[in-house]
Copies of this chain bind each other. A is one copy, B any other.
């Protein structure tokens, strides 16, 4: 299976996603045009980096006026593939799962949460937001009647690998893994993106001079 979108490095994809968020914020506050320099300043990047990234999009700015905010938003969304709705399910409704389900940023970027699953029988049938929590065993049949693009995995570490297999068997092509353990896909077509919140803290700590103790 080939990638549907242009070859862009992971680092560029990440920066584009940050530009998109800032541009949407700017648009909400009424801005129609923007210079690359203003984006760079808001994100603590340098101007030439921002211009290089934007040039990948094929969007052209106008000297002295800058880029049209709406046009930039649309071209970034097209490149990232978020110019459409992605149907997402949540697997694992603990504290983290609950927080993720209420995370407004997902919906804003086109990620639509359409199902929530857990293996704890006490949770089944209770609701999370507007969704009713379903049995993990029902994942596969749910995916036969709904087109699910992505799964957010928020189960404990020791359950994660087994659940990945169930998600793959249900035919879901992408997994965002919040379980604090690396999981492996069985199929080469499954894309897994690891998120580890402790690793984010470690990345921060690396740059910080700690206080004397």
Chain A residues near B (Cβ < 8 Å) = 1, 3-5, 8, 10-11, 13-14, 17-18, 20-22, 25, 42-44, 80-82, 84-88, 94-96, 98-100, 102-106, 108-109, 111, 147-150, 152, 173-176, 180-182, 184, 189, 191-213
CB-defined A-B contacts under 8 Å, sample of 23: A1-B209, A10-B203, A13-B203, A18-B196, A18-B199, A43-B182, A80-B202, A80-B205, A81-B208, A94-B99, A96-B99, A104-B180, A106-B198, A109-B198, A147-B213, A148-B211, A174-B207, A175-B204, A176-B200, A176-B201, A193-B200, A193-B203, A193-B204
Which B residues are CB-close (under 8 A) to A42?
182, 184
Kindly list chain B residues whose C-beta atoms are within 8 Å of the C-beta of A199.
Answer: 14, 17-18, 21
Q: How far is the CB of A150 from chain B (nearest CB, A)?
A: 6
A4 touches B209 (CB 8 A): yes
Contact indicator B95/A21 (Cβ below 8 Å): no
Partner of A96, one of B11, B103, B209: B103
- Which residue of chain B is the closest to A201 with respect to CB atoms? B111
Instruction: For A103, give the chain B residue with the smallest CB separation.
Output: B197
Q: Which residues of B contact A207 (CB under 8 A)?
A: 3, 174, 191, 193
Asked whether A147 and B201 contact (CB < 8 A) given A17-B196, A182-B18, A184-B44, the answer is no
Given contacts A100-B197, A173-B211, 10 further A-B contacts (CB under 8 A): A13-B202, A14-B203, A18-B196, A42-B184, A81-B210, A82-B205, A86-B205, A96-B102, A150-B205, A191-B204
Residues on the B chain within 8 Å of A210, using CB:
4, 81, 84, 86, 149, 173
Shortest Cβ distance from residue A205 to the other chain B in the assembled complex, whole angstroms: 5
Residue of B nearest to A88 (CB): B201
Contacts of A84 in B (CB 8 A): 210, 213
**Once bound together, how far apart are the Cα atoms of A192 and B208, in whole Å?**
9
* Contact between B198 and A197, CB atoms less than 8 A apart: no
- Are B208 and A173 interface neighbours, CB within 8 A? yes
